[in-house]
Each structure stands twice: as C-alpha cells, then as structure tokens.
Structure 1
C-alpha cells in the first residue's frame, strides 16, 4: 500500500473557524489554528493550517481540484507562487520500526496519527519555503539600494517608498512570528515514543529547524539594511532642512537690506 501526500501553499492565511463551520465534516482533530480530517469512507485525509497551507493524502486530481476551489473561499491574500511538496508513505508488514527516507517513509501499518505527523511536517516544509521566497525578495531589493550606495554614494529611494519597504519587511516578520508554533511538536507525540521519533526524523529530513534559523538570520540582515537606509534618509532630510533654513535666513537679510 502506498499513500501520496501533497502540501500546497494556497494563501497567506486561512479563516479556520469559518471553514470548520461550513465544511460540515467532523474533524478527527483540530484547534483554532489547524484542523485534520480523516475521511475513512474514501480513505482520504486533509490537513488545513491557518498559515495558508493545505495538505492532501490519497487524493486524486479531481478531488484535489474540487477541494481547492472550495477552500479558496476562506483564503486571506491568496498566493500564486506554485509552492508545493510531495511525500510518500509506504507499507511493509515485515518491519518492526518506521524508516524515514528523503522522499518517503516506510511503516508496517498506516493510521491517522501517523498520517497526521507526516502531513504536518510536509506542510511545515512548504510554509518555510514560502517565507524563504519572501525573504529572498526582500534581500534582493535591498541589494539594489546597497549597490546604489556603493556606486553613487546616495539613495534615490523616496521617503514614501522606504516606508512602504519597511512596512513590507515588518509584515513578513510579524507573519513569521505569528506562526512560530509551526515548530512546536503536536500533543500526540508526547505519549508515543514511536511517533515522537518519527516526528524528529521528519524534521531532520525536511531541515525544519536549520531552515527556520536561516530565515531568522536573513530577516536580521534585512532589518540591519533598513536601519542603514533610514539613517541615510534622515541625514538627507536634515541636509534639506538646513538648506531651507539657510535660504530663509538669506531671504530675510536681503529683505532687511532692501527696506
């Protein structure tokens, strides 16, 4: 037996509360930030996270397309970056332990708890990829201004554009901070050593913690650049005010001499 898992970044976030009310299917488990469905009649599984990720297990293309059309009604700021990740669960009745590989995991039997752990980590990996794309864009745009400083010794960016850039950086950082819980271990691994080991191995396989640290490091670089840009802009504004004051004083002197 083989179950294919696919995680997709649909939006920046989902309205989980509204979705659970209108989906009209009993959840296997869930909270205010996520909901997991075990549709045993069709042997399909769903995991929806409020950071905009949907994870499918054992869905055919038609079923997946139909659900995506439905869930987009609860999406906040849809994402069109084609971010997805696949993983496979295989079974081997002769095994006495779970084996985790790069693209698949092998287990003696599949149950909803095991599926939930695998789907959770696959979803976390896609969410991290989304934030990696956002921070790469921020770093790329800041490099443009740094290069301008190096070559021309000045910044051509306006105060309004800089404030917009600062807002974008803060929005990305706040979104990441709000979703720090994606690194937390689910409650079901606390009392199950086998699931706990599976969860740790999957996190190592997807490089969840190193990628998050790298993400935090990149954001710190962007923030340092923002501080530099703000200082340069403040100096530019100060020089402009100085010249305005000088011109006004000169004008007053000329008017006094004239009278």
Structure 2
C-alpha cells in the first residue's frame, strides 16, 4: 500500500470567506472534534475545514460547492440579521515547498503545510478582508448620499431636502458608523499566535497582502467624517428650528403691537 503524501505536499486548495450577516450565534455549535473554539473551527469531510467567526463570516477551505452549501445551510439559522448581498473573499492555497511562506504575485498563498493552525491564520485574514469589503461598501453608499447634499449646501447655503429627509440621512450615517465600528477589530491578531508565535510572519504577510491596517485606517477616517457630517446636519436642523421660532415670536409681537394700536385708535375715535 502506498504511503500517504506528507502534509507539506498537499494539493492546491480553495479558501472562501463569506460574510453572512451582522453576527453569528455560535452558542450551541460547539463540537467534540472542534480544532478551536474562538473562533469555532472544525473539520468537514476528509480534508475540508470550516471556521466560523462571530462577526458574521464563515471561511470554508478545501470544500467542493455542495459541501460549502451544506455547511452554510447548517449555520444559516444562527445568522443574526442576514445580508441579501454577501461579500466574499477567495484565495488559492498552495504548498510552499522548500521556500518560505509567501503570497505570490497572482494572489496564491503558499504555506508550509495544511495544519489547522496555519489554516486558522489564513482564515482570519480572509474573514477580516471580507468584513472590511462590506464596511467599505456601506460607507461608500452613505458618501454617495451625502455628496449631493454637501454640494447643494455649498452652492445655495442650505440643504436641498426637507427636515424629514435630513433626519433620515443622519440616521443612515449613524447606523453605518455603529455597524462598522462595532463589527470587527482588524488590529487584533488571531489568538492562535499566542501559542504559535512562529506563524506571526505568515500573518504579517497576509495582513500586508490584503492591506488590512491601511483599509481600516481609511475606513476610520471616513467614519469620522460621517460623524462630523451628521453633527453638522443636526446643528443645521436646530438652527432652522430656532430661526422659525424666532420669526414666530416676531410675528406674534408685531401682531400684538398692531392689535394694541388698533384698539388705541378705536378708543380715540370713540
């Protein structure tokens, strides 16, 4: 009987990260064969691997489409606020051979072996990239809404919409800010690195490849701008309300003076 190939000689694998929703409730999903509990990771079939992140991402490695669909259906009931549009991040995993672990120019991730610890590191980077992609899309949608408003404000000195539309815009901006800032801490390294510091170089290369820190920094700057815009719009609403109130008071005072003058004139005439 022929000997099985070593772990370092594995065939190329496909890793796919799928953002399913706002959050995944992993309570009750614990398994005896789990490789990790935070995040939850377990084997699928003979060579497949799945990692479930609480911030809504599932990473599937070495699975065919049917097996992927089966895993996603099983996790589906656990997804909180599922997304109609799912962000995905896909990568090809290949053996590094005698060379060091790296990311090839074509995006292929070369790893020393397909051990669960290395797959956890790869899954962490792919999951964060998928979550960031969704955050970037949501922030871009808010900017697309804010830009015409800001342009009209610069041209006319006032917003183009009414108070209700402005309040809806503020709500959308604050909702995106809350979702993005509370979803995933990109700067946090995977827990496996505490036990396997030798994998830090691999994670650093993946972090650079997917520009995790740079994308998070740009996203935070945009979120800050969204927050400032929401506060500006709130101030404008308050200012307009104060102006209307002041004009109402002025009209009442003028009306009262006019009524008083009329009464005085009527008294003199009488």
Tell me, yes or no, whether TM beats 0.5: yes
Q: Which residue is 1:253 aligned to?
A: 257
* CA distance in 1 between partners of 2:159 and 2:112 (Å): 61
Q: Which residue is 2:240 aligned to?
A: 236
Q: Deviations over 1:202-253 (max 9, x none)?
A: 0001000000000011111222222322222222112111111112222323
In the alignment, structure 1 residue 3 sits paired with structure 2 residue 13: yes
Contact 1:190 1:196 in 2 (8 A): no
Aligned partner (choices 96, 110, 117) of residue 121 of structure 2: 117
In the alignment, structure 1 residue 28 sits paired with structure 2 residue 53: no
The higher radius of gyration belongs to 2
2:27 match: secondary structure: helix
Q: Which residue is 2:54 aligned to?
A: 50
In the alignment, structure 1 residue 16 sits paired with structure 2 residue 20: no
How many equivalent pairs are there? 252
1:185 match: secondary structure: coil
In the alignment, structure 1 residue 76 sits paired with structure 2 residue 80: yes
* CA distance in 1 between partners of 2:79 and 2:172 (Å): 20
Mean Cα deviation higher: 102-111 or 6-15: 102-111
1:176 match: secondary structure: helix
Q: CA deviation at 1:180?
A: 4.4
Aligned partner (choices 162, 166, 170) of residue 162 of structure 1: 166
1:28 match: secondary structure: strand
Q: TM-score, normalised by structure 2?
A: 0.85
Unaligned runs of 5+ in 2: 1-10, 264-270
* CA distance in 2 between partners of 1:76 and 1:159 (Å): 32
Contact 2:23 2:56 in 1 (8 A): yes
Contact 1:3 1:57 in 2 (8 A): yes
Q: For residues 158 and 14 of structure 1, do their structure 2 counterparts lie closer, same or farther at Cα, with a shift above 3 Å needed?
A: farther
Q: Which residue is 2:7 aligned to?
A: none
Q: Which residue is 1:184 aligned to?
A: 188
Q: Deviations over 1:176-224 (max 9, x none)?
A: 3323434211232234343110011100010000000000111112222
Q: CA-atom RMSD, angstroms?
A: 2.1
* CA distance in 1 between partners of 2:50 and 2:195 (Å): 23
Q: CA deviation at 1:256?
A: 3.1
Q: TM-score, normalised by structure 1?
A: 0.88
Mean Cα deviation higher: 175-184 or 205-214: 175-184
2:224 match: secondary structure: helix
1:204 match: secondary structure: helix
Contact 2:177 2:226 in 1 (8 A): no
Aligned partner (choices 94, 98, 102) of residue 99 of structure 1: 102
